[in-house]
Structure 1
């Protein structure tokens, strides 16, 4: 016999207004864009520091 798990009653929690949801989405997109820019920047800086000959190595 499997025991059933009783879930506690759900609470609504924090309900955002439409304006707050839009601001949160805009902030998340801005954070993602900055993070993506930093990843690309670190990649480019790494390639520049290694020099152009790193691509001319024998495989």
Structure 2
């Protein structure tokens, strides 16, 4: 329970911080999704002719 009313500047800053946080979370999800797709497709495997048994 707050004793003082938050200043209008704090309300705007909270909204901006929330927007930045959501943008960052979306970027992380996109990068993670692309990584999962590349790994499951096998793009990180070396070419077959260079693999020594």
TM-score range, shorter chain: 0.5 to 0.7
In the TM superposition, 1:1-59 aligns within 5 A as: 13=2, 14-51=4-41
Higher radius of gyration, 1 or 2: 1
- 1:11-43 Cα shifts (integer Å, max 9, x gaps): 6x2521111100111001101110111011101
Q: RMSD of aligned C-alpha atoms?
A: 1.7
Gaps of 5+ in 2: 43-53
TM (norm. structure 2) is: 0.65
- Structure with more of its chain in helix, by fraction: 2
Task: State the 4+ residue runs in structure 1 displaced beyond 2 angstroms.
Answer: none
Higher RCO (Cα < 8 Å, 6 or more apart): 2
Name the TM-score, length of structure 1 as normaliser. 0.60
